[in-house]
Amino acid sequence: MGFLSFLLQVCFLPITVGTPDALPDLSPTFIEIPGNGIYAQSGDRVTINFMVVDSNGKELANSERRGLAHTMDLFGSPSDPLLQAAALGAREGETRYLILIAEDIVPEVGSFNLIRNPGPLLVKIQIERIQRR
């Protein structure tokens, strides 16, 4: 219930980070721990920890619980479009919360996929490392 309460509290905050092309839909963003250095951009290799919670408060994914950070090339390799959109524009060492609309980012919303229902998702991203390529 705590994450659902947080989602409802921050979904009306007019906070954004980066330029309009850094966040595709200018989603409400809350930076818990600011990072430093370069911003993650398309083509960078990014290592992240993440958590995704749906609008019902159900945790859909959590890399910290598994103990495995996720490494991906931003928009350069097949990877999760939700995580790519959340990491874009973040700095190394940053922890941020974003509210993203599932159907705007993930076209395969449905009963046989990880994201089963359309609507808002709370995404927590911790940027561990950014490698400029």
Phi and psi of 68, rounded to 5°? -125, 115
- Sign for the CA dihedral angle at 123, 44, 103, 29 comes to positive
Q: Which domain holds residue 78?
A: 2-131
The CATH code of the domain that includes 42 is 3.10.50.40
**What is the pLDDT tens value at each position of the chain, 133 positions in all?**
455 555 555 554 444 444 334 444 446 788 898 999 899 999 999 999 999 998 888 898 899 888 899 999 998 767 788 888 899 999 999 999 999 888 887 777 666 666 777 789 899 999 999 999 7
What percent of the chain is helix, strand and coil (3-state, nearest 5)? Answer: 20, 35, 45
Nearest to 49 by CA among 8, 110, 78, 90: 90
Question: How many domains does the chain divide into?
Answer: 1
DSSP string, 7-29: HHHHTT-----S-TTTSTT---E
Q: What value does the CA radius of gyration of the chain take, rounded to a whole number of Å?
A: 14
Q: Name the token pair of 75.
A: 């928009």
